[in-house]
Every structure is written in C-alpha cells, then in structure tokens.
Amino acid sequence: MIVGYPFSAVVGHDDLKLALLLNAVSPAIGGVLVRGEKGTAKSTVVRSLAALLPEVAVVAGCRFSCDPAAPDPSCPDGPHESGLSPQTRPARLVELPVGASEDRVAGSLDLERALTEGVKAFEPGLLAAAHRGVLYVDEVNLLHDHLVDLLLDAAAMGVAHVEREGVSVRHAARFLLVGTMNPEEGELRPQLLDRFGLAVEVRASRDPAERAEVVRRRLAFDADPAGYTGAYAGGERDLALRIAAARDRLPAVTLPDDALRGITAVCAAFDVEGMRADLVMARTAVALAAWEGRDEVTPGDVRTAARLALPHRRRRDPFDDPGHGLDEERLEQALSEALSPDDDSGDDAPDDAPDDGPDDDGPGGGGASGGEPADAPPGEGGASAGGRRPESPGAPYRTRLLAPEAVGRGGPAGRRGRTTGESGRAVGARTPDGRLRRLDLPATLAAAAPHQRGRGRTGSGLVLRREDLREALREGRESNLVLFCVDASGSMAARTRMRAVKGAVLSLLLDAYQRRDKVGLVTFRGEEATVALPPTSSVELASGRLARLATGGRTPLAAGLRRAERVLAAERLRDPRRRPLLVVVTDGRHTSGPDPVVTARRLAGVASVVVDCEHGPVRLGLAGRLAAALGGTAIRLEELAADHLAAVVRDVRKVA
C-alpha cells in the first residue's frame, strides 16, 4: 500500500493550502494554478489533498462514477435503474501526463467496431476517471494548448463531449482541477491563466529554522511512512470533517450587497478584463465563509478572495510575468477603499506579502538600468563585463513568418513549420498502421465500394472489412526550436543600431511565444561565444537575457556558429521530434577566429535564416554569403517587419 504525505504535515504554503481547501469546498471556483520554482513541494501538497475529500457513492459497475441519488441521464453506461444499492469508494486523484493525447484525456470511440459491427463502443478517458474527484496536471504549461482548453471547458461546464465522424458521446465530468508549473519552463497564455479560478505563487522559505523543519519531517516520513502518517491521522480526520461540514453549509451562505459591491469595485479598480474574476471572487468569498463556519460573507473574506483570484489576471503583455511584481500595497489600498473607506488602520494587511526584491530571471531583471544580476551568464551585464553598458531593446513589432521550408513529420503542435500529423487540414488518406484513430470516411467508402459484389452484398448496407479502413492524413503546424545566434561585437555596438537589433530579436521572441516555440539564445563577442539561454519554453527568460546583453569587442562569428551547432546537437538528442530553426543576427563581419563560411557548411542541414544587420551606403554582402553557406536565406533587418513585406506586395501590385 502506498502511503501519501499528510496534508496537515506540510510546513508553510498557507495560501496554497487554503486555495486547495476552498476548491474542495466549492469546485465551482474553477481550480487552482500553482506556480513555483522546482523543489517547493507543489506536487506533494496537491497529492495529499485527495485523502481529505469525502468518500463518494457511485452506481456499481458504472465507469463514469454516477451518483445513485441523481444518476447522469446521458451516461454512456446508463440508463441506471433507481433504487440500486450504492457503492462507496474514496475520491480519486487522477494525474494527467504531459504527453497525453486528446483521446486519452476525453475518451475515444472505437470506430472500427462502430462501422464493422454496428456497435457504439466508448472507451472512457481521464475526464471520466476524475469525475467527482481531483484532476491533477503537473507541468500544465508544457501541455498542448488545445488540451488545456479541453480541460478548462470540462471543468467549467461539468460535462465532457466526445465527437467522432457524427457519433457523439456526452458524460458528466465534475472535478477539482489543479495545475502546477515551473515558470522557468514557460508561461501559460493570459487567456488560459484567466480560466483558472485561483493562482498561488509558491517559493521555498528563506528561514533556516523553517527549512530545517521541512527536512526533519520529510526524513521522518521516508523512514516510516505509515507511522509518520498515523501521527497526523487526527489532524487529517479533522480537516476531512471540516470540508464535509463546509460543503453542507455552502448553500446557506449569503453574499451581502455591500460585499458584492466591494468585489466589483476591486475588479474595476484593477482594470480586470471580463467578468470571470468577479464571479471567482464571489464564489471564493462564499466558500471561505463556509469554511470558517459563517453564514455571511465578510469584508475579510473579500480581501482574501482578491489576493487569490486577482494577481494572475493582471497580465497584459506576453512578456509580463504573472507571478511576480504584484503591488500588494496598491491591492490593499483598493480593497480598503472599496470595503471600508474610513478604515486606515491597515490591520487586515496580509502577513505573507512577497518581498519586493528583484527577480533575477524576470523579464525586467537587470533591464536597461545596466545592473547585472549575480547569476547572469557570462557575456551579460554592464561595462564591467568588458563591453558597453546594455542598450534597451526597441519597441517590438509584428514580424514576417520565418519557418523551415520542408514539411515535418508529426512534430509537437504549434503554429510555425508545416507538419503531417493528427491535426490540421486533410491532404490525403492512408491505411492505419495500428489502431484506427482518425477515420477518413470518404476514403474508406471508396476503398470498399469496388468489392461489394464479390462480398455478396444483397441489402442496402455496405459490407466493410478491416482492410477497407482509411485514416485521414492531415497537414498542420508544428512547434519548432528557434535558436537565436546574436552578434554582440563592437561592429554591432552603435547604440541606435543595437537598439534596433534587440528590438528585432524581441519581436521574433514575441512571434515565437505566439507560435508556441522553444527558444534558445547564443551570443558571441570578444574571443568566444556563450549560451546566454539554453533551449527553453520560457520566452520571458530569453527577453530578460536579451535586455541585459552587453556589446563590444571583436567578432568571433565562427565561434558563435560552432556553439550553435553544439546546442542543436544536444537538443536533437533531448527532443528529437522538434525541428530547429537557426536565426543568425549579424552584419556578417568576422574579426576573430577562422573563416565562418567553413563552419557554416557543417550546419547546412539545419533550416536557417540570416538577419542582415549591415547598414550604410556601401554594403559588402557578407551576411548573404553566410546564408548561402548555411543553405538558408538572408533578409535585411528592415525587411523583417510584416508591414514592410505588405508594403512591398502593394508596390508590386501597383506596378503590375
């Protein structure tokens, strides 16, 4: 028997535990997103919650966990007879792996049996398994966007739909959705952030005594899991009873008009888009009152609800960090003015407000001020790094699409390079290698039609066999690895020019964010090249490193290409399905090291684009020569903007 870590034994993380408990009381809040650095017990706290949830009564033999008191009328295993003896079981914690397919999540129809046997056979997915329990998604930021949308839709509506070739199945799917993520591995889109009811930032304690207590408890648990859990059995039982009591009290809790006005006033003060935040705050405040054993929402409930429901909804720009930089003082001031205008005592200020220290890895860390963080990679920072003080990037703009010309085969879903796979527009049909997933009905009928007489067809029905089945061959878009190789040497160091170059790279990073790419950053100047940022899904980190990038020194172009080659080779082993796109930002000059053309030829198999930064009345065309050696294309810096390309097209049409 596997023994889980007790919820009541977790040290600290008060906001996280409260957010989880409130969602356990009222799943209508919309779930919890837990953001935090690695090693902060995010998964431990979430997994320990399931043991506190009350047992559920289910219809015996129902794969969809129908409630005997109110069975789902659309249950695929129904209809269920009334008066059946209920079967009780513990609430489930269902974990969704990052690599799960849509069929694994939502369930799938056995189309082969449906066509050949006339049987509508449905195989339930993880949404059905999580019904009336907890659905836990670790590293939710690495999950494909369409799967995150699917999860959030089901969590919001309490219903899952599966449709395949005109056959539709619907079943109940009400669960507590919890997602955890490490922001260093990439952020969720603002639209998806807003769909999570509450969000909590988790950081490891900086108090040595508290850290020692965490280690002491974990070692004791590892030495004797059963004995350690038994010591907290009383606390766990009390929490479970309190959750059950709060659920019973929840329908009777009232939300006074002044509290509701306070909620809407706070959301308006923070310029929150849409109405979801208002609803989430109201539900959270009601659940908190029920949790505290009260029948009416108080101003303190609204304050706590705002602290949990608003911070992740303030994000406007894709490079904004939704986890750091929240002005707690402004939040408290807005809450105080909305709820108790005459109360200036500040007694309700939260004790656990995050410190205001700089975030080394945040998009603004080090910024244009020239300050260099302690953990900045070599080649970043101010004048002490041997180059000019960093120049801030210019304003980003919409760029033209840079993508591999060849069609990939089943790369990760995204919006850049073309690829064949399970999504996208149909471009053909093929015989399935194994289990049929995406039926191409016209191709299947066309394959079966010539054989009907030989198979003895006599009625109106079509005689189908396994070898007739065809699945659709689709072409969609994939996510790529965009590796930037940026020249930071003295030849690029004119301040206005480097500002334009950084603005161009920042614009490409924004484009990579929108197209769901991984990004990496290699810079070269002086005598060497540096990996400023290894390949990651966090374009926020890349933009921060770009802002801190200093310039000056000689131009080791060949060293930059060699470093890029090693990064791509390592990433090919780590993530072989993701095709790379190398973007070299340079004027083509080299004043240190061997001839870069020789090095470039070793990268000829990689899709490449050279952004030519050469300027002035006399152009040497060195970047074009480099692009030819790479087997890629060259575009001038000023041609990178999508508006420039549109203007060229308009001019050509006018001439024509």
139-173 pLDDT, tens digit per residue, is: 888 777 778 888 888 887 888 887 765 567 888 88
CB 88 within 8 A of CB 58: yes
* Catalytic option among 276, 303, 438, 548: 276
Confidence of residue 316 (pLDDT cuts 50, 70, 90): low
Q: Alpha-carbon distance 583 to 623, whole Å?
A: 12
Q: Is the pLDDT of residue 416 over 60?
A: yes
Q: How far apart are the C-alpha atoms of 636 and 622, rounded to whole Å?
A: 12
pLDDT in tens, 198-220: 999 888 888 899 889 989 999 99
296, pLDDT greater than 90: yes
Q: What is the largest CA-CA distance in the chain?
A: 90
Mean pLDDT score of the chain: 80
Q: Which residue has the tokens 């090919």?
A: 572
Question: What confidence tens digit (pLDDT) does each residue in 95-131 have?
Answer: 988 777 788 888 877 666 666 665 557 788 899 999 9
Share of the chain above pLDDT 70, in %: 81
Q: Which residue has the tokens 């053309």?
A: 597
- 326 or 298: which leads in pLDDT: 298
What is the phi/psi pair of residue 428, to 5°? 170, -170
CA 208 to chain centre: 32
Query: What's the average model confidence in pLDDT over 305-313?
Result: 87
Residue 390 to residue 385: CA distance in whole angstroms: 10
Active site residue 516: no
Q: Tell me which H or E stretch contains 18.
A: helix 14-25
pLDDT of residue 339: 58
Distance CA 532, CA 405 (A): 27
DSSP string, 272-335: --SSHHHHHHHHHHHHHHHHTT-SB--HHHHHHHHHHHSGGG---STTS-SSS---HHHHHHHH
| Torsion-angle region of 511 (φ positive above 0: left; ψ -120 to 50: alpha; else: beta) | alpha
pLDDT digits (tens, 9 = 90+) for 431-443: 887 777 677 777 8
Q: In the prediction, which pLDDT does 424 show?
A: 64
HSE-up of residue 195 (Cα within 13 Å, Cβ side): 20
pLDDT of residue 340: 58
Amino acid at 457: R
Contact assessment for residue 258 and residue 301, using Cβ atoms and an 8 Å cutoff = no
Which among 279, 345, 343, 346 has a CA at the least distance from the CA of 310?
Answer: 279
pLDDT tops 50 at residue 376: no
Which of 63-77, 376-390, 571-585 has the lowest average pLDDT?
376-390
CA distances from 448 to 98, 179, 350, 427 (A): 38, 46, 70, 20
- The alpha carbon dihedral of 580, 552, 626, 647 has a sign of positive
Question: In the prediction, which pLDDT does 293 show?
Answer: 94
Is residue 73 predicted with pLDDT exceeding 60? Answer: yes
Residue-level pLDDT at 448: 84
Question: Under 8 Å CB-to-CB from 577, ≥6 apart: which residues?
Answer: 410, 411, 412
Mean pLDDT value across residues 175-196: 80
Give the CA radius of gyration of the chain: 29
For the cut 50, the answer to whether the pLDDT of residue 232 exceeds it is: yes
Which tokens sit at 468? 């007739």
Q: What is the mean pLDDT of residues 26-44?
A: 87
Q: Are 628 and 594 in contact (CB under 8 A)?
A: no
Whether this model's pTM surpasses 0.75: no
Give per-residue pLDDT as tens, 455-488: 888 776 778 888 888 887 777 788 889 999 999 8
Q: What is the pLDDT of residue 150?
A: 84
User: From CA 524, how far away is CA 64, in angstroms rounded?
Assistant: 58
| Residue 285 reports pLDDT greater than 90 | yes
Give the pLDDT score at 383: 44
Cβ atoms of 63 and 124 within 8 Å: the answer is: yes
**Structure-token pair, residue 193:** 């952030």
Residue 423: pLDDT band (50, 70, 90) is low
